[in-house]
Amino acid sequence: MSKFTTILCLLLSLLPIFVLSDDGYNAFVYAGCSLPHYDPGSLYESAVDSSLAALINSAAFTSYSNFTSPSTSLSALYQCRSDLPASVCSSCLHTAVSQLSALCPSAAGATIQLRACLIKYSNESFIGKPDTTLLYKKCGAPAASYGGDVIGMRDAAIGTIQASGGAYRVGGAGYVQAESQCIGDLDTKECSDCVTVAVSQVRSACAYAGAGEVYLGKCYARYWANNGYHPSSSSNSRVDNNDETGKTLAIIIGLIAGVALIIVFLSFIRRAGSEKD
């Protein structure tokens, strides 16, 4: 292999780093802790630690897994966005477990949702049971901040995810995109029912907002503009800017940086060859 080919391969291998460096998959969304706590050194603590470790180890093979411990009445599960690679899922889960131990130390039950993954455990059985309890909502700035018929596009976009099938759903209309996902322990009908409730609640809660998201016990639904518009304020908390526009910009920047480096190295190699002649 020539020196140029070696350098070119090295540069191309760096491009995914540029592309993936700012996707925000590990961004915090919400967390909840139970009031009951377990005793340090107890059998339940050991079960929690071993279940979380087992769940993280499963991330290399599947985007969803659950764990039960009959001896301690512990149930646990994780759910990653099913469109993401295993490496992203694993990274998200590691971050979630680290944050969970800091936010909910010794809690008998806890839930943490990051942008790309969810972890939940409890001493009460919940696996396989539908749950449309509202856990978290966030609405963006008024749609007028975006311009155009955002509300009409919003309704059409979230309508597409309600009408589609599967546990992970994406849709869009105009420059508004929508996304939803159910936890893997729901069957097809339970998932569709949950998404229907989530879509209804995000439309109601964020009636005139240009972006919004609702997280229920077993699913979520969210929508956002994808044409460069970003809300200047939020009625509940900050609005997520991790949209497809940001990803596209990251890709472009990464490619430009890679090409620039290639040009620099080509110039260096040609200069070195000229000096030898």
Is pLDDT at 235 greater than 50 in this prediction? no
Backbone angles phi, psi at 28, to 5 degrees: -75, 135
| Amino acid identity for residue 57 in this structure | N
Measure the CA–CA gap between 27 and 239, rounded to whole angstroms. Answer: 12
Confidence of residue 10 (pLDDT cuts 50, 70, 90): very low
Is pLDDT at 230 greater than 70 in this prediction? no
Confidence of residue 125 (pLDDT cuts 50, 70, 90): very high
* Mean pLDDT value of segment 225-238: 44
pLDDT, averaged across the chain: 80
Measure the CA–CA gap between 57 and 250, rounded to whole angstroms. Answer: 30
* Mean pLDDT value of segment 58-75: 95
Confidence of residue 93 (pLDDT cuts 50, 70, 90): very high
* Mean pLDDT value of segment 188-201: 98
Is pLDDT at 171 greater than 70 in this prediction? yes
Is pLDDT at 40 greater than 70 in this prediction? yes
Confidence of residue 274 (pLDDT cuts 50, 70, 90): low
Is pLDDT at 7 greater than 60 in this prediction? no
* Mean pLDDT value of segment 238-266: 42
What is residue 144's predicted lDDT score, i.e. its pLDDT? 74
pLDDT cut 70: percent of the chain above it: 72
Confidence of residue 267 (pLDDT cuts 50, 70, 90): low
What is residue 226's predicted lDDT score, i.e. its pLDDT? 73
Confidence of residue 77 (pLDDT cuts 50, 70, 90): very high
Query: 64, 71 in Cβ contact below 8 A?
Result: no
Query: 113, 30 in Cβ contact below 8 A?
Result: yes
Closest by alpha carbon to 118, among 156, 79, 149?
A: 79
| Lowest mean pLDDT segment, chosen from 94-98, 151-155, 262-266 | 262-266
* Mean pLDDT value of segment 249-271: 48
Burial state string for 121-155 with b = 16 or more CB within 10 A and e = fewer than 16: bbbeebeeebebeebbbbbbbbbebbebebbebbb
Reduced 3-state DSSP string for the chain: CCHHHHHHHHHHHHHHHHHHCCCCCCCEEEEEECCCECCCCCHHHHHHHHHHHHHHHHCCCCCEEEEEECCCCEEEEEEECCCCCHHHHHHHHHHHHHHHHHHCCCECCEEEEECCEEEEEECCCCCCCCCCCEEEEEECCEHHHCCCCHHHHHHHHHHHHHHCCCCEEEEEECCEEEEEEECCCCCHHHHHHHHHHHHHHHHHHCCCECCEEEEECCEEEEEEECCCCCCCCCCCCCCCCCCHHHHHHHHHHHHHHHHHHHHHHHHHHHHHHHHHC
Order across the sheet with 64-69: list the strands.
Answer: 28-33, 110-114, 117-122, 74-80, 64-69
User: 90 versus 274: which is more confidently predicted?
Assistant: 90
Q: Look up residue 102 and give its two tokens.
A: 């800091």
What is residue 116's predicted lDDT score, i.e. its pLDDT? 97
What is residue 146's predicted lDDT score, i.e. its pLDDT? 65
Strand pairing of 28-33 and 110-114?
Answer: antiparallel
